[in-house]
Structure 1
Amino acid sequence: MAEDHGAKKAGGAFFLVVAAGRGARAGAGGPKQYRELAGRQVLTRTLRALLDGAAGAKALVVIHADDRDLYEAAIAPLPDDVRARLFPPAFGGATRQDSVCNGLEALAAFGVGDDAAVLIHDAARPFVSPGLIARALEAARDKGAGVPGVAVVDTIKQVAEDLRIVATPARATLRGVQTPQAFRFVLILAAHRAVRADGCREMTDDAAVAEWAGHCVFVFPGEAENVKLTTPEDFLRAEAKLFNELADIRTGQGFDVHAFGNGDHVWLGGVKVPHDRGLVGHSDADVLLHAITDAVLGAIADGDIGAHFPPSDPQWRGASSDQFLRHAVERVAARGGRIAHIDATLICERPKVGPHRDAIRARIGEIMDLPLDRVAVKATTSERLGFTGRQEGIAAMAMATVRLP
């Protein structure tokens, strides 16, 4: 019996996201749907845009059988309530057409009703808007089958095998077709089943499948911004677009100090560093993560670590400081922003930070979901001056650069 994911809803809305391709035209770097785009995987951005754009809708992603780990990494950054609206993924086939059919069969097995609207979308289109989603849902419910189209601005020539022009179609009758392509579920499932049973050749989109099955497919307005990432140049333009949308650049600073006490290690940047003394603090006394947390909160003028995690609250006694930093990162995300760079400095005579620097940078990047080249960690001494010079404790300074809409 199929697992119950609450699919049986009259007039429900469902996304089928096609993410099983290899994306060879995008160049080296693995399947394009799992590549990073301004700090987030493309599939992560696509799923967030779709599920934010249709309240209550659910989604099923069709993936390659080899990509389960990549898929899990892509959905991990999604908020819990968004991730809860995902069905378990289905596995794709030899062609896109096979993959879509497999996905539709999976939705049927989960109990999606005949009258539901299903929107079939390319994973490599992360800029789908709420308005476009709303038009797609309306087309599925009112027309049974609809696709977003944009007017063709160039003159189109039909050519023969020898590249001789044989026709010039009237531009006013042409549309460039995008996704999400929208259908009444029973219509598109039956069409795909019929095409599969007939052994038809591969068709370029789901509208062609519906047309082959004898259905009228209507065009509704698409959007020029709803681009499909296909080439390396597409990724460069998409990165620039995202950064331009985050034009409010903020800088925050953080500073923290902890004294030495009894112990056999210190926590620095989420890494357990062996030492003949420990650091004293209400939590795990990770002086570096505390400074970075304050820097991030400062960049968005959202108080400091003590305001969010009061030392008077016993629940934070001995707590791992990575949860403080994750909270600060989530506060930035809630504002629609992202962290562009972290620059932090440890001030101490001992322990020596150099042997642990790469591990510390990697751990901070993991906590903050940042690539390694956006995390700088340095260390210095105070030339035996002051409390750090007397080896009474460790100080840390941090700067955070944040981009907000």
Structure 2
Amino acid sequence: MNNTRKNIALIFAGGVGTRMNTKAKPKQFLELHGKPIIVYTLELFQTHPEIDGIIIVIVSDWTDYMQELLERYQLSKVVTIVEGGETGQLSIYNGLIAAEKHFSVDAKILIHDGVRPLINHQIISDNIQQANLSGNAITTAPTVETFVVVDDDMVVRNVPLRKNSRLAKAPQTFILKDIISAHRTALQEGITNSIDSCTLMSQHGHQVTLVEGPVENIKITTPTDYFMFRAIIESRENSQIFGD
């Protein structure tokens, strides 16, 4: 265990991308300009000065390929690659167990989707700063449309005020001992498929606090998402070349 490392990124990439309609490879390994999506994501944490280590949770058959990518793109902060579980919750738990082996339980851990590459250094810094203050940080975005809460019969039961509504995104940052405790309690209760870490922590008595992230912080799960990602990346590249 290395107590000097305080900020860990846990990059979750355990899915196989059924909604992407690709049979050749999982969605996190789809490429843009020859670079896999997950590498775009990892490079943001690799180059952030406050991130001390990275743990990757990956679909088991692609571990060797992931190792090749680490070497090719010089992602030196990656401490270990962990095989995913049967659900997203169990995959993240596998990553937390690995984090517990390598880092102090007082370290902060930023849980992030491998297919969410459109964040920036500022939102990583904001997560760390907020977690220093309150013990956790959930990246959010404002809702730009009204949404409704329905029952099992698809009858509207509540229309939350937009000013009080946020979309929960990632990274989601916690003290390692807090989030791993919530996961262990959930498993003891027979919960194995919680939606996300924010939900799990809230359900187990933790008051979670928010930071606001960029609107373009999308999770790439469909072809439409991929095309949006490509358009944003190409727009950024063109801006660098030609100016605003």
Q: Within 2, Cα distance between the matches of 1:201 and 1:86?
A: 27
For 2:133, the equivalent position in structure 1 comes to 142
Alignment map for 1:115-134 (pairs within 5 Å): 115-134=106-125
Q: Within 1, Cα distance between the matches of 2:235 and 2:34?
A: 14
Q: Which amino acid aligns with 1:114?
A: V
Deviation for aligned residue 1:212: 2.0
- Which structure carries more relative contact order (alpha carbon 8 Å, separation 6+)? 2
Cα deviation digits, residues 187-245 of structure 1 (max 9, x gap): 11111111112212521110111112211111111211211111101111211221222
For 2:226, the equivalent position in structure 1 comes to 235
SS of the aligned residue for 1:9 comes to coil
Is 1:220 matched up with 2:211? yes
For 1:16, the equivalent position in structure 2 comes to 10
For 1:95, the equivalent position in structure 2 comes to 87
User: CA, structure 1 residues 116+404, in 2 after alignment: closer, same or farther (shift >3 Å)?
Assistant: farther
Deviation for aligned residue 1:56: 4.7
Q: Within 1, Cα distance between the matches of 2:190 and 2:62?
A: 27
For 2:149, the equivalent position in structure 1 comes to 158
Q: Within 2, Cα distance between the matches of 1:201 and 1:72?
A: 28
8 Å CA contact retained: 1:44, 1:77: no
SS of the aligned residue for 2:60 comes to coil
For 1:39, the equivalent position in structure 2 comes to 34
Q: Within 2, Cα distance between the matches of 1:68 and 1:95?
A: 17
CA-based RMSD: 1.9
Is 1:187 matched up with 2:182? no
Is 1:207 matched up with 2:198? yes
Larger of the two Rg values belongs to structure: 1
SS of the aligned residue for 2:141 comes to strand
Cα deviation digits, residues 245-290 of structure 1 (max 9, x gap): 2227xxxxxxxxxxxxxxxxxxxxxxxxxxxxxxxxxxxxxxxxxx
SS of the aligned residue for 1:217 comes to coil
Deviation for aligned residue 1:42: 0.7
TM-score (normalizing by structure 1): 0.57
Q: Which amino acid aligns with 2:9?
A: F
User: CA, structure 1 residues 193+76, in 2 after alignment: closer, same or farther (shift >3 Å)?
Assistant: same
Q: Within 1, Cα distance between the matches of 2:37 and 2:65?
A: 11
Q: Within 1, Cα distance between the matches of 2:220 and 2:242?
A: 24
Q: Within 2, Cα distance between the matches of 1:67 and 1:217?
A: 34
Query: Which of 51, 57, 70 does residue 52 from structure 2 map onto?
Result: 57
Alignment map for 1:349-368 (pairs within 5 Å): none
Is 1:106 matched up with 2:98? yes
Q: Which runs of 5+ in 2 are unaligned?
A: none
Deviation for aligned residue 1:70: 2.6
8 Å CA contact retained: 2:9, 2:51: no
SS of the aligned residue for 2:174 comes to strand
SS of the aligned residue for 1:88 comes to strand
8 Å CA contact retained: 2:70, 2:76: no
User: CA, structure 1 residues 64+201, in 2 after alignment: closer, same or farther (shift >3 Å)?
Assistant: closer
Q: Within 1, Cα distance between the matches of 2:242 and 2:4?
A: 38
SS of the aligned residue for 2:170 comes to coil
SS of the aligned residue for 1:53 comes to coil
Normalized per residue, which structure has more helix? 2
Deviation for aligned residue 1:404: 8.5
Alignment map for 1:241-320 (pairs within 5 Å): 241-247=232-238
User: CA, structure 1 residues 191+246, in 2 after alignment: closer, same or farther (shift >3 Å)?
Assistant: same
Q: Within 1, Cα distance between the matches of 2:105 and 2:155?
A: 47
Q: Within 1, Cα distance between the matches of 2:34 and 2:212?
A: 30
8 Å CA contact retained: 1:140, 1:183: yes
Deviation for aligned residue 1:159: 2.2
Q: Within 2, Cα distance between the matches of 1:131 and 1:56?
A: 12
Cα deviation digits, residues 334-387 of structure 1 (max 9, x gap): xx9xxxxxxxxxxxxxxxxxxxxxxxxxxxxxxxxxxxxxxxxxxxxxxxxxxx
Q: Which amino acid aligns with 2:21?
A: G
Q: Which amino acid aligns with 1:14?
A: I
User: CA, structure 1 residues 55+218, in 2 after alignment: closer, same or farther (shift >3 Å)?
Assistant: closer
Deviation for aligned residue 1:69: 2.5
Q: Within 2, Cα distance between the matches of 1:198 and 1:56?
A: 33
Alignment map for 1:302-341 (pairs within 5 Å): none
8 Å CA contact retained: 1:64, 1:91: yes
SS of the aligned residue for 1:216 comes to coil
Q: Which amino acid aligns with 1:86?
A: V
TM-score (normalizing by structure 2): 0.92
